[in-house]
Structure 1
């Protein structure tokens, strides 16, 4: 019997993926995707917006063609049915411009089109494999997958930009900030660490 791959839990159990916590690793992944405009755009849009990959994969080229910095695109979350927005910041605009210059795309083509022929988007399973490979190549230990990109957005916003859980809760369309805290994996060590702050 072959040993079980740690990325695949026993049947019936769940597995939690981690955010990419290191800004250096994020930069390394962007650098390794430099010559893969589609993959770079997916990584940048996901980590800058916190939108579920499933919702990003439904986007068409025409949804973003002609968008400028600070423009937004309305999206309806497939999981919740709630309205949300995708923002085009500097990083997204740069990756989008690079992608559109890399080929000729009709507006009805999926933005993150599978390379298997028909006009079909990448699958979540494909994105899972891609993210695992990127993180492995960046030297990261742990379990990563498509959902890591959404979690990376939340982690970076909270830790590096000081965004509070209430705002992230609203962005993620979570029921409460407590749900967001669990989602972002707030550890006991992190909670205990605040007790070192002398008042």
Structure 2
């Protein structure tokens, strides 16, 4: 079971660390800003995002659930996308997150797991991190730092119930203790 990246400072440090790796930065930014499974992000092609502007939406079909979901281009995603597309000549039919080993093959989940573990280690984080940490980071930051309700996150993650989302993010005990500190 991997955990989310809980610290906004660690998230910023990883983004800075990836500044000279436009592909990796885009993957990190898209995953932490959208909460989409990495497997679904890895299936995207360059043409799916070329020309997208801030507030544009891309509809995807989740490979795990078969349900339709959306990916949004916010300011952070747009900035990282623009840098990545300017970094080289990328064919619209190529995978957005292509492997350096294969001409037209995407990164694998295993390689993303190694990358995320490396980024977190380099940022000084202790714990178990992997590809799924990026999706969990989205939910954790939305809940803890922006106050988004479990019901909304449940809908975003296509979970069966808010209690599933609470367990998924691993913050339910923290919140229960937190409300007990409120004086009435």
Q: TM-score, normalised by structure 2?
A: 0.98
CA shift at 1:102, angstroms? 0.1
Residue segments in structure 1 that go unaligned for 5+ positions in a row: 1-15
Identify the match of residue 54 of structure 1 among 39, 49, 55.
Answer: 39
Identify the match of residue 140 of structure 1 among 125, 128, 136.
Answer: 125
Counterpart check, 1:29 vs 2:14: yes
Residues 7-43 of structure 1 deviation map (CA, whole Å, 9 limit, x = unaligned): xxxxxxxxx1010000000000000000000000000
Give the ranges of 4+ consecutive aligned residues of structure 1 lying more than 3 Å apart after TM superposition: none
Measure the CA separation in 2 of the matches of 1:139 and 1:163: 27
Whether the 8 Å CA contact 2:4–2:140 is kept in 1: the answer is yes
Residues 42-61 of structure 1 deviation map (CA, whole Å, 9 limit, x = unaligned): 00000000000000000000
Measure the CA separation in 2 of the matches of 1:186 and 1:110: 35
Residue segments in structure 2 that go unaligned for 5+ positions in a row: none
Q: How does 1:64-143 map to 2 (within 5 A)?
A: 64-143=49-128
Q: Which has the higher helix share?
A: 2
Q: Which residue of 1 aligns with 2:153?
A: 168
CA shift at 1:191, angstroms? 1.3
Measure the CA separation in 2 of the matches of 1:61 and 1:158: 31
User: Could you say which structure has the larger radius of gyration?
Assistant: 1
Whether the 8 Å CA contact 2:166–2:172 is kept in 1: the answer is no
Count of residues in Structure 1 that have an aligned counterpart in Structure 2? 184
Q: Which residue of 2 aligns with 1:7?
A: none
